[in-house]
Structure 1
Amino acid sequence: MAHRTTQTIVRFSSAFLLPGFDKPQPAGDYRVDHDEESIDGVSRLAWRRMGSFIHLPGIGVRSSTHQMVPINPVDLDAALEKDNKTA
């Protein structure tokens, strides 16, 4: 099976908190990686998401440490939707 990682940038206009985070993260742009594996089909190639990770701190924030934190894409989508309603 083939594997790939797709990257996206998400933007939060206010502080946000995802399940499993110790504290809210500040507003800003964040890189999100989605790891996927191929599903071999008879007529076409499809991909199944195996994991999603957000990079902390946000883009442009100076920090001595950087980390990739596993997240649930559903939780990320809910946080982005909430952020869009408050913006």
Structure 2
Amino acid sequence: MDQLSSRTVAVFSRSFTLPGFDEALPAGEYDIETELSAPPDLLNPQAWKASVLVHLHPRKSHPGLTRSLTVSLADLDSARVKDKLSGKELSAFLFEEMLADPMVRLVMQSDGVSETQIRHLYSGLGISEPDGERHD
């Protein structure tokens, strides 16, 4: 049975790091290979976790040396999100995604809560009640 895999390219606009790898990787395009199913010789296929093979750029000191790194799909996704955010934390990205959700907007509207109040709350400054009273 052939191993099912997907090939794609990840583009990073800034240098980045991956957990378990002590080298900062330069910005640029990286070829990515993702296994879509557990390897056939794996003893416990249920314990298999998706991972990706990242083809690294050669070092300037060893231009002909090809290198690759196997990382979890979650770690690669986290690095890509951080790069997309230009240094913002993942929680800030998720917060912005939440505010962009139409269902969240409808709930905010029905509860009479503004985006400013939500941003104020999540910034750690608290939320101000429209009538000056707090309802706990």
The TM-score range, normalised by the shorter chain, is 0.7 to 0.9
Partner of 1:25: 25
Residue 8 of structure 1 pairs with residue 8 of structure 2: yes
Moved more, 9-18 or 48-57: 48-57
- Which residues of structure 1 form unaligned runs of 5+? 39-47
Percent of residue pairs identical: 29
RMSD of Structure 2 on Structure 1 (CA): 2.5
Question: 2: CA distance between counterparts of 1:37 and 1:14?
Answer: 31
Instruction: Give the C-alpha shift of residue 4 in structure 1.
Output: 1.2
**Matched letter for residue 56 of structure 1:** L
Specify which structure has the bigger relative contact order, considering alpha-carbon pairs within 8 angstroms and separated by 6 or more residues.
1
Instruction: Give the C-alpha shift of residue 55 in structure 1.
Output: 0.3
SS in 2 for 1:86: coil
- Which residues of structure 2 form unaligned runs of 5+? 39-47, 88-136
Question: 2: CA distance between counterparts of 1:18 and 1:3?
Answer: 26
Q: Which runs of 4+ in 1 moved over 2 A?
A: 48-51
Q: Which has the higher helix share?
A: 2
Instruction: Give the C-alpha shift of residue 24 in structure 1.
Output: 0.4
SS in 2 for 1:37: coil
SS in 1 for 2:10: strand
How many residue pairs are counted as aligned between the two chains? 75
Q: Which has the higher strand share?
A: 1
* Deviation string, structure 1 residues 21-80 (Cα, Å, up to 9, x no partner): 121000000011011228xxxxxxxxx86531100117xxx9221122111110111111
Instruction: Give the C-alpha shift of residue 20 in structure 1.
Output: 1.4
* TM, length-normalised to structure 2: 0.48
